[in-house]
Amino acid sequence: MEKEIDLGKYTLRTDLAIDHISENIDIPGIKSTTYLEDDIKITTVLVEEEGSLKIDKKKGNYITIEFSDVTDYTNREHVKEVFVEKLKELLSLCKIGEDQSCLVVGLGNDRSTPDALGPLTVEQILVTSHLFSFHEIHEGFRKVYAFTPGVMGKTGIETSDMIQSIISSIKPDFVLVVDSLASQSVDRVNKTIQMTNTGIHPGSGIGNTRKEISQEILGIPVIAIGVPTVVDAVTIVSDTIHYMYKHFSYTKANLNNPMNRLLTGSVNYLKKDVLIDEEEKKKLFGMVGSLEEEEVRKLIFEVLTPIGYNLMVTPKEVDFVVSKLSDVIGNGINRALHKNVENL
Amino acid sequence: MEKEIDLGKYTLRTDLAIDHISENIDIPGIKSTTYLEDDIKITTVLVEEEGSLKIDKKKGNYITIEFSDVTDYTNREHVKEVFVEKLKELLSLCKIGEDQSCLVVGLGNDRSTPDALGPLTVEQILVTSHLFSFHEIHEGFRKVYAFTPGVMGKTGIETSDMIQSIISSIKPDFVLVVDSLASQSVDRVNKTIQMTNTGIHPGSGIGNTRKEISQEILGIPVIAIGVPTVVDAVTIVSDTIHYMYKHFSYTKANLNNPMNRLLTGSVNYLKKDVLIDEEEKKKLFGMVGSLEEEEVRKLIFEVLTPIGYNLMVTPKEVDFVVSKLSDVIGNGINRALHKNVENL
Amino acid sequence: MEKEIDLGKYTLRTDLAIDHISENIDIPGIKSTTYLEDDIKITTVLVEEEGSLKIDKKKGNYITIEFSDVTDYTNREHVKEVFVEKLKELLSLCKIGEDQSCLVVGLGNDRSTPDALGPLTVEQILVTSHLFSFHEIHEGFRKVYAFTPGVMGKTGIETSDMIQSIISSIKPDFVLVVDSLASQSVDRVNKTIQMTNTGIHPGSGIGNTRKEISQEILGIPVIAIGVPTVVDAVTIVSDTIHYMYKHFSYTKANLNNPMNRLLTGSVNYLKKDVLIDEEEKKKLFGMVGSLEEEEVRKLIFEVLTPIGYNLMVTPKEVDFVVSKLSDVIGNGINRALHKNVENL
Amino acid sequence: MEKEIDLGKYTLRTDLAIDHISENIDIPGIKSTTYLEDDIKITTVLVEEEGSLKIDKKKGNYITIEFSDVTDYTNREHVKEVFVEKLKELLSLCKIGEDQSCLVVGLGNDRSTPDALGPLTVEQILVTSHLFSFHEIHEGFRKVYAFTPGVMGKTGIETSDMIQSIISSIKPDFVLVVDSLASQSVDRVNKTIQMTNTGIHPGSGIGNTRKEISQEILGIPVIAIGVPTVVDAVTIVSDTIHYMYKHFSYTKANLNNPMNRLLTGSVNYLKKDVLIDEEEKKKLFGMVGSLEEEEVRKLIFEVLTPIGYNLMVTPKEVDFVVSKLSDVIGNGINRALHKNVENL
């Protein structure tokens, strides 16, 4: 979970996914499809040159897999299957052949659980490259390397520099980068796998493109796989204020519905379509209520920064969930990369 | 980090410390002193029968050690020294003699970093009881046992029942309980050690006293040592809203001070005495601005609950800090319990 | 991996299995069957009163599952199935009903990999007892508690005392104890699961029966499940000397077989039936060669003891294998205890 | 603990130290001094061109620090001081200035305790390089990078290739490599720190110099720091057979000494000067007794190989000791590299 978008002194990696894609659906240069496999929702987005400028996202493919749970074995295997299928699809979109060699890079800090997804995934990777020299590997396998660069705070070395120098030594055909992400929305945490062939990169206009981990920088295809495992303090506060609007609007709209009154407190208003009443917002939250969401975020950021807190918000069961997620992604990668692998 | 205060379906252990003690200073039945050792602030509070009812805290001694950092070796050794001194003082207040045997209990979940303080501390404890039977122990040591009960979600066993049954078997003279706490305030996290001889106990009026870990229940003195390592999502949102008031009031009051205008963003308004302007609050935050702090907390709680998020907020470097804190407390306990121990 | 057989100052827990059972097959009071499921070998032994005295093993049932590998997913699931089946059989032999409550105890030290099998297994256990009080559990599940006592060197508390006091508090109907074992033979390490309803207990004639974890002591059925994960230094030396005999006898016997001469070095003579030539032994190993195996062990023990080395021998990949074994045993226990569980 | 000496199919890294230096003391081209600081024994050896050929060790400096214990705080700090002093001496011998930048490399596998010394040490390293760009670092510090390449079995990448490519990217002035070693003698395990400026390298005559991590390969000074944390099965068997000779010779020589007869079993004959009686050896061990030590090793190796056991021998408390050793070496390196560092 390295930080890559410089937002004043505070930095944060954006999600790999494209937000609010439903709103973008009619934008020229953006093609998006969404479908369900049971309760798993898959969204694939193709951003073309024309659309890229409009939504300020790099052109390329974005795949998002949304699910509710990976702690149960059956659900987990199901998510894994969908992940394998979509990863194969992305490899194929990138025209990566079955014999091309792969370097799997696990970003993040293995001593900090929410940031350990990359290193834990690398633990699961079936590494084969050294076996090729011994002729111990037969058909159905490709050459795979794996590597955990560690975080800059502990190595003092720029991560993308380290990856680039390893690549120049071992010359793989493509790179898979796995990382924990800081989500921009509470309800995605540990419940989304995001994939893209546009690399892991800072937002536009910041200028530190040197840090980017992408095909442009490394010269070979880079597929980034990420799971949001934390939100920052700004997000939790901003989301909660937004939920307050929704909660109030929902409560007001259903005030005279006796059924709902009985259920107060237990209705998940988040899953309802609630029209947020702008007048209510202002009454409820005064000046703050009249701000746009992004303005609220900036305000909260400004308020929290001088206090100097460097906080992260994670689900309480994060250790357990991250270990299960690393199984999904690590063994999913194994299956997508090698024809002859089932489970390990 | 077991949860003990039932707040609807959601539960949370309160801090062991007494809040806002400066406001309570004139309450009959409460005696409090505060002093500094360099930049370490020590507060000791004695709650007597009369005061106990007024502030709804059990009668007994409460000691709070506030510091800014334990990651630096020199600071850490300094905090450790203060901790050893205050723990000895509390042992003495409880009339615990130098030869009395001790059971150290590390509460919490060793697989979840912010909750691992208890188990990690137990790792540091110099256990001596089994050596006494071999006559391998000489003067200057007392009999010490240590024990990590695990968390109820993983054992299915009520923690206080487990402690009680171990006590009835080994019959120690007193118990030291070490636990991570959920703080009620963001700025205490990892920066306070709290000690009390009133046990770790749920708030009054809830009636599940069965779960309490205290002298009343166990029949022998219980000294609880806790460090707040997380805050919950409700606290971070509620604190941030409170900081917003402060930030605005401070900014407004200093609007015409050119020095401060230059420094915007970098002034830590939290450390300033800022009078919060109630009218501003309402203008700023509408109906929410007119609520009392506790009402805001309940509102946020109500808003977050149905969403089903079980979030915790910790500093990003929690793994590193908790390991250093377990050194302070574990080795501090060793030094306080045994005359002949320096460092391990 | 607590030490239980007192062998001078040095102690060691014996395997739970019965050695060389093929030689014992005609002993009255001992009934033994062996069969293969693919390459998994299952041996069940019933020791009756009469046989018990003869082989100096407690009367009861002993089940041994021998396999070659659990690191491959398919093999592991196969071993798990066999384990579930045999554990159910043993529960049934002990007349333990489907609704009887169970305490799972994970012995050993979670900070020492080869000794962490018990604690790691407990991590996998589906604990249900606390859910029963909330009526959240439906048909097909029984009440299960789990507990990791830690090792005496770190707690100062006798393990069996701790278990007994927990039992007297929660009153389960039976106990499952999981532990790492020190093997008496190199070729069993990580390749055998041993089960018995005779408890985990020290060898006869030593008199510290107080430490035993068994039905006699705890008053309820105790099923012990163990996997040898280490051998001690005495065993590795003694086994190697024995292998030397075998290797020489095999080499000599095949000296004139040109096929074998070509294969020198790669033939696994251990899997061959090799008649050890007593004369050769003496020529080869002098006085040492004329000793019985048990005498050689005693000699090696005598030689190594004053040097003060407290060594253990494990396979290099022990971390990986022990984690896979804890999956087999933990999830195997889940399936054997609850009708409605598949995999977690 | 990568394997570097190819011994048939089996490989093993030699100790970094020079064995039996007392015997070599008169060899031209080898200068050696030994002295004690309390109970810590320091041996420094300079191998010059002329001596290099004679003892088949690369020319350069070899420093060995032998101690009995690092688990006690006082001893540990003492060993740390000696280590700091000798490391500074070696830096100075290599003409490495106080401002020259350093890459610390932690070899080994952090998931396997005896092999985790390198990665654990890196955890302790005060990394400063990224701070230099922010001008946050003042006098008394040098630029330090740190890096954990992982083991080839998990990365598929040759370790020295990885280091070389990192070096070509960050261009440090010199390299410190920290590694666990497989000892060639039981009594050195966890009780010796070895340092050399000759690199970590395979034995001569094997020809895979590509794998070497040394100044010749990397082009900048390489200081290797190693601690033997395991012995292999061949060593434990071979050492025990050797101890048997010693034990017997000692016992025989003292047969008529009544004092010693009373003490049988408790005398540490290893610390005595014992003349091994060649005739006794043969009587005792037959043909095996007539073999040279190296021949016995080869024989044991030949016997154990086809069985396919990949065993390692470590002290039982290896987890605890390795964590303490990583404190000594990691914080020792910090102190030796930066003038302004005391302890962390």
pLDDT in tens, D149-204: 998 888 999 899 999 999 999 999 999 999 998 887 887 889 999 999 999 864 33
Q: Which residue has the higher pLDDT, C221 or A239?
A: C221
Contacts of C143 in chain B (CB under 8 A): 156
Calpha distance A177→A168 (Å, rounded): 16
Query: In terms of C-beta density within 10 A (0-12 exposed, 13-18 middle, 19 or more buried), how is residue A323 classed?
Result: middle
Which pLDDT band, with edges at 50, 70 and 90, does D5 fall under?
very low
Which pLDDT band, with edges at 50, 70 and 90, does B282 fall under?
confident
For residue D67, give the 3-state DSSP assignment: coil
pLDDT at residue A210 greater than cutoff 50:
no
Q: Directed axis angle between helix C293-304 and helix C233-253, to 10°?
A: 140
Contact between A88 and D120 (Cβ < 8 Å) = no
- Give the model confidence (pLDDT) of C175-209 as tens digits: 999 999 888 788 888 999 999 999 986 433 333 44
Partner residue facing C127 (CB), from B155, B166, B169: B155
Which range, A6-15, B209-218, D197-206, is most confident? B209-218
Check residue D146 and give its pLDDT: 97
Task: State the nearest Cα–Cα gap between A13 and chain D, in angstroms.
Answer: 19
- Give the model confidence (pLDDT) of A182-204 as tens digits: 887 888 889 999 999 999 864 33
Contact between D197 and D149 (Cβ < 8 Å) = no
Widest Cα–Cα separation across chain D = 75
Calpha distance D81→C257 (Å, rounded): 62
Which pLDDT band, with edges at 50, 70 and 90, does B260 fall under?
low
**A14-234+314-337 adopts what CATH topology?**
Rossmann fold (3.40.50)
- Give the model confidence (pLDDT) of A131-173 as tens digits: 776 666 667 889 999 999 998 888 999 899 999 999 999 999 9
Check residue C288 and give its pLDDT: 83
Total beta-carbon pairs less than 8 A apart between chain A and chain B? 145
Contacts of D125 in chain B (CB under 8 A): none
Share of chain A above pLDDT 70, in %: 80
Mean pLDDT over all residues of chain D? 81
Check residue A111 and give its pLDDT: 80
Check residue A138 and give its pLDDT: 64
Contacts of A166 in chain D (CB under 8 A): 157, 162, 165-166
Partner residue facing C284 (CB), from D269, D287, D313: D287
pLDDT at residue D147 greater than cutoff 60:
yes
Calpha distance A106→A146 (Å, rounded): 8
Task: Return the C-alpha torsion angle B88, B89, B90, B93, nearest 10.
Answer: 120
Tell me if A312 and B309 make a contact (CB, 8 A cut-off): no
A143: closest chain D residue by CA: D156
Tell me if A169 and D154 make a contact (CB, 8 A cut-off): no
Tell me if C243 and D307 make a contact (CB, 8 A cut-off): yes
Nearest to D239 by CA among C240, C186, C317: C240
Contact between C62 and C47 (Cβ < 8 Å) = yes
Contacts of B311 in chain A (CB under 8 A): 186, 236, 313-316
Tell me if B127 and C161 make a contact (CB, 8 A cut-off): no
Estimate the share of chain A in helix, then strand, then coil, as percent rounded to the nearest 5. 45, 20, 35
- The helices-and-strands tally (H runs, E runs) of chain B is 12, 11
Q: 149-178 in D: which are within 8 Å (CB) of A?
A: 150, 152-158, 161-162, 164-166, 168-170
pLDDT at residue B46 greater than cutoff 90:
yes
- Mean pLDDT, rounded, for B52-78: 89
B105: closest chain C residue by CA: C155
- Give the model confidence (pLDDT) of A231-287 as tens digits: 888 888 888 888 887 877 777 777 666 555 444 444 566 666 667 777 877 887 888
pLDDT at residue C224 greater than cutoff 80:
yes
Check residue A269 and give its pLDDT: 65
Tell me if C186 and D316 make a contact (CB, 8 A cut-off): no
Partner residue facing B240 (CB), from A265, A304, A317: A304
Q: Which chains touch A (3 or more CB pairs under 8 A)?
A: B, C, D
- Mean pLDDT, rounded, for A201-221: 66
Q: Hey, is the C-beta of C141 within 8 angstroms of any chain B C-beta?
A: no
Contacts of A342 in chain C (CB under 8 A): 73-74
**CATH 3.40.50.1450 residue ranges in chain C?**
14-234+314-337
Q: Hey, is the C-beta of B268 within 8 angstroms of any chain A C-beta?
A: yes
- Mean pLDDT, rounded, for D55-63: 89
Check residue C110 and give its pLDDT: 84
Check residue A204 and give its pLDDT: 32
For residue D145, give the 3-state DSSP assignment: strand
Q: Hey, is the C-beta of D340 within 8 angstroms of any chain B C-beta?
A: no
Check residue C235 and give its pLDDT: 85
Range of lowest pLDDT (A293-307, A315-329, D6-20): D6-20
Q: Hey, is the C-beta of B122 within 8 angstroms of any chain C C-beta?
A: yes
Contacts of D143 in chain A (CB under 8 A): 156
Q: 223-252 in B: which are within 8 Å (CB) of A?
A: 233, 236-237, 240-241, 243-244, 247
- Mean pLDDT, rounded, for B321-344: 87
What six digits make up the tokens of A218? 């490394």
Contacts of A237 in chain B (CB under 8 A): 236-237, 240-241
Which pLDDT band, with edges at 50, 70 and 90, does B254 fall under?
confident
D104: closest chain A residue by CA: A155
Nearest to B299 by CA among B312, B313, B285: B285
Nearest to A225 by CA among A127, A325, A144, A147: A325
Task: State the nearest Cα–Cα gap between B48 and chain C, in angstroms.
Answer: 34
Question: pTM (2 decimals)?
Answer: 0.84
pLDDT at residue A43 greater than cutoff 90:
yes
Partner residue facing D288 (CB), from C284, C299, C308: C284
Query: In terms of C-beta density within 10 A (0-12 exposed, 13-18 middle, 19 or more buried), how is residue B120 classed?
Result: buried
Query: In sequence order, what are the beta bridge partners of B194?
Result: B64, B226
Q: Hey, is the C-beta of D344 within 8 angstroms of any chain B C-beta?
A: yes
Tell me if C166 and B166 make a contact (CB, 8 A cut-off): yes
Check residue D206 and give its pLDDT: 34
Check residue C11 and give its pLDDT: 35
- Give the model confidence (pLDDT) of B263-276 as tens digits: 444 456 666 666 77
Check residue B57 and give its pLDDT: 83
Which pLDDT band, with edges at 50, 70 and 90, does B301 fall under?
confident
B341: closest chain D residue by CA: D73
Contacts of C309 in chain D (CB under 8 A): 186-187, 315
Calpha distance D182→D107 (Å, rounded): 13
Check residue A76 and give its pLDDT: 93
Check residue B6 and give its pLDDT: 27
Partner residue facing B265 (CB), from A113, A302, A318: A302
Total beta-carbon pairs less than 8 A apart between chain B and chain D? 10
Nearest to B172 by CA among B98, B102, B221: B102
CA Rg value for chain B? 21
Q: Which helix (H) or strand (E) holds D61?
A: strand D60-66
Q: Which chains touch D (3 or more CB pairs under 8 A)?
A: A, B, C
Q: Which residue has the higher pLDDT, D292 or A340?
A: D292
pLDDT at residue A6 greater than cutoff 50:
no
pLDDT at residue B280 greater than cutoff 70:
yes
Backbone angles phi, psi at A191, to 5 degrees: -125, 20
Backbone angles phi, psi at B46, to 5 degrees: -110, 120
What six digits make up the tokens of B33? 């002193």
Angle at CA of residue C182, ends C180 and C185, nearest 5°: 130
> Which residues, 6 or more positions from A113, have their beta carbon under 8 angstroms from its beta carbon?
A314, A318, A319, A322, B112, B113, B319
Q: Is A232 left (phi over 0), alpha (psi -120 to 50) or beta?
A: beta
Contacts of A326 in chain D (CB under 8 A): none
Which pLDDT band, with edges at 50, 70 and 90, does C80 fall under?
very high
Q: Which residue has the higher pLDDT, B260 or A196?
A: A196
Mean pLDDT over all residues of chain B? 81
Tell me if D169 and A162 make a contact (CB, 8 A cut-off): yes
Partner residue facing D343 (CB), from B73, B342, B344: B73
pLDDT at residue A2 greater than cutoff 60:
no
A213 DSSP 8-state letter: B
pLDDT at residue B50 greater than cutoff 70:
yes
Query: In sequence order, what are the beta bridge partners of D223?
Result: D176
Share of chain A above pLDDT 90, in %: 42
Query: In sequence order, what are the beta bridge partners of A64?
Result: A43, A194
Query: In sequence order, what are the beta bridge partners of B176?
Result: B104, B223
Query: In sequence order, what are the beta bridge partners of B193?
Result: B65
Calpha distance D228→D213 (Å, rounded): 18
Q: Which residue has the higher pLDDT, D52 or A175?
A: A175
pLDDT at residue B288 greater than cutoff 50:
yes
Calpha distance C245→D299 (Å, rounded): 12
Check residue C202 and give its pLDDT: 43
Partner residue facing A169 (CB), from D152, D156, D165: D165
Nearest to A147 by CA among A95, A108, A200: A108
Calpha distance D201→D212 (Å, rounded): 5
Tell me if C74 and A342 make a contact (CB, 8 A cut-off): yes
Q: Which residue has the higher pLDDT, B206 or D158?
A: D158
Q: Hey, is the C-beta of D257 within 8 angstroms of any chain A C-beta?
A: no
What letter represents residue D77's amino acid?
E
> Which residues, 6 or more positions from B284, have their beta carbon under 8 angstroms from its beta carbon?
A286, A287, A288, B244, B245, B248
Contacts of B330 in chain D (CB under 8 A): none
Mean pLDDT over all residues of chain A? 81
Q: Hey, is the C-beta of B9 within 8 angstroms of any chain A C-beta?
A: no
B290 DSSP 8-state letter: T
Q: Hey, is the C-beta of A276 within 8 angstroms of any chain B C-beta?
A: no
Calpha distance B155→B147 (Å, rounded): 14
Check residue A307 and give its pLDDT: 63
D2: closest chain C residue by CA: C316
Calpha distance C125→B155 (Å, rounded): 9
Q: Which residue has the higher pLDDT, D278 or D158?
A: D158
For residue B293, give the 3-state DSSP assignment: helix
Q: Is B265 left (phi over 0), alpha (psi -120 to 50) or beta?
A: left
Sign of the dihedral through C-alpha A194, A199, A201, A203: negative
CA Rg value for chain D? 21
CA Rg value for chain C? 21
DSSP per-residue letters across C278-319: HHHHHHHHHHHHTS-HHHHHHHHHHHHGGGT--EEEEETTHH
Which pLDDT band, with edges at 50, 70 and 90, does C166 fall under?
very high
Contact between C334 and C126 (Cβ < 8 Å) = yes
Which pLDDT band, with edges at 50, 70 and 90, does A344 fall under?
low
Q: Hey, is the C-beta of B73 within 8 angstroms of any chain A C-beta?
A: no
D341: closest chain B residue by CA: B73
Contact between C46 and C61 (Cβ < 8 Å) = yes
Task: State the nearest Cα–Cα gap between C120 and chain B, in angstroms.
Answer: 11
- Give the model confidence (pLDDT) of A102-128 as tens digits: 999 999 888 888 889 999 999 999 999
Check residue C205 and give its pLDDT: 31
Q: Which residue has the higher pLDDT, D63 or A320?
A: D63
B211 DSSP 8-state letter: G
Calpha distance D261→D258 (Å, rounded): 5
Q: Which residue has the higher pLDDT, A281 or B46?
A: B46
